[in-house]
Amino acid sequence: MSNRKRVWFEDTDRKLDPGLVEQLWNFRKVDTNVLNSNEIPIIVYLKKNCDKDKKDDLLKTCNLDSHNKLERELHSINGVKGHLTPDKIKEIKDHEAVDRIFYDRIVTSFLDVASEQIGAVHVHKNLDLTGNGITIAVIDTGIYPHEDLINPSNRIIAFQDFINGESEPYDDNGHGTHCAGDAAGNGNLSNGRYVGPAPEASIIGIKVLDEQGSGRLSTIIEGLEWCMDHKEAHNIRIISLSLGAPAYESFRDDPLSRAAQKAWHRGIVVCAPAGNSGPAAATISTPAIDPFIITVGSTDDQNTIERKDDIIADYSSRGPTIDSLIKPDIYAPGTNIISLLAAGSAIESQIPELIIDENYIQLSGTSMATPICAGIIALMLEANPKLSPNDIKSILKATSHSTLDDLWGYIEAESAVEMAKNYQLQVQTAVQDR
């Protein structure tokens, strides 16, 4: 038996998540003195039955000096976000109010043929559905008021900025604007060429990622909570999250997964990208690890409308999840997708060679596949507003084409919308036939 002494943060009985332990080790390797002064962004889970006195005592203990602060509640996960020094983490890890402490990890964005190939154009023409009356919240880097979103009418119905506190829509990175167009661009500046699946859907921009396309877990959770709190006011039916972080914990414990699942149970369809760490197995990111929400993988359509030559994109993350669950749930085009360019954004200056016709830009990633899926869901909900998130997921899976070498198939808009229209009748018939 080994008699090796253990550092305090190695022996905490799962009080600290693996990501936080890793950070504490990194600080220790640099300089032991760092433990006394460096602030670490954290999320504290409170115990389920934590009373007000214990919670207040925890806040008082952590807010005694400028290096430590618990500053904002995250009600969807019964937590509090803030910054604590390693010494303070050591002090509070066994506090009566504390369940677990997580490192508030960095979350990043995951970077013409698509709408026609998936059948969305046929839905527009044959079924006269365009996403009208359905609101998609794009939680990302923000949203630029591109002509394809504001003409002939402004469909950006709300904007919330958790990074810089601005009130008017903007996107200093460009990723979120591209994603908004992937879902709901109307092709106004391209004579309809670069149109998204839901060209009349309403859009809400939730800025949780900065100019470099990165942010913290807690900020994304705040964005999800804003959507839950404003669901009725803005008729938010869909959240498109084209972002993620490596998954270290089960979906039951992971903060971002828990918040996304809470939104799902509040009646909002949540779509998240599988990640861009393929083709290796077991690379699904959070929040896509959650078994309830819709995890979207990316295909490469080879720039053809014909599906026979389509393949799963090499970069698209593969399952199983950290909990050994089957993911992704569905695949959508995500390679070389042409969508909206945010003027003056970081992407515009970083990759000018990918700009198309001055107003558009070509990007690839499961980030692009996710809002395309969200746009199709908007068509389904326009066809049948009574569908629940679970109904939507079931229909997408049931109508997908098994053209890919995976357990789940390739999204097909027209079949999904047709089933959505008649779904309640089909369910009733199935029950009666038992």
Spatial distance between the Cα atoms of 280 and 129, rounded to a whole number of angstroms: 38
Task: Please report, as a single letter, which amino acid is at residue 345.
Answer: S
Sorted by sequence, the CB contacts under 8 Å of residue 153 that are 6+ apart come out as none
Going from N- to C-terminal start, the domains of the chain cover 9-104, 108-423
pLDDT single digits (tens) 243-295: 999 998 999 999 999 999 999 999 999 999 999 998 999 999 999 999 999 99
Tokens of 374: 């969200």
pLDDT of residue 309: 72
Q: Could you tell me which of 264, 268, 125, 141 has the C-alpha nearest to residue 199?
A: 125
> Residue 233: which residues within 8 A CB-CB, separation 6 or more?
none
Highest mean pLDDT among 189-193, 266-270, 397-401: 266-270
Confidence label for 420 from pLDDT (cuts 50, 70 and 90): very high
**pLDDT tens sequence across 18-36:** 889 888 888 776 655 544 5
Q: Does domain 108-423 have CATH number 3.40.50.200?
A: yes
Sheet containing strand 214-216, edge to edge, reads 214-216, 106-109, 243-244
| 97 strand-pairing partners | none
Fold agreement between 9-104 and 108-423:
no
Element (H, E) at 328: none
Judged against a pLDDT cut of 50, whether residue 364 lies above it is answered with yes
Instruction: Reply yes or no on whether 115 is catalytic.
Output: no
pTM for the model: 0.90
Residue 424's pLDDT is what?
67
- Is 140 a known active-site residue? yes
Known catalytic residue: 401?
no
pLDDT band at 409 (very low <50, low <70, confident <90, very high): confident
pLDDT bracket for residue 14 (50, 70, 90): confident
Q: How many angstroms separate the first and last alpha carbons of the chain? A: 61
* Active-site position among 17, 104, 112, 140: 140
Annotated catalytic residue: which of 83, 95, 146, 175?
175
**Catalytic residue (choose from 242, 339, 367, 400):** 367
The larger pLDDT score, comparing residue 172 to residue 26, is at: 172
The conformation of residue 203, written as its DSSP 8-state character, comes to: E
Instruction: Looking at the structure, give the CATH architecture of the domain made up of residues 9-104.
Output: 2-Layer Sandwich (3.30)
What is the chain's mean pLDDT, rounded? 89
Q: Which of the 8 DSSP states describes residue 186?
A: B
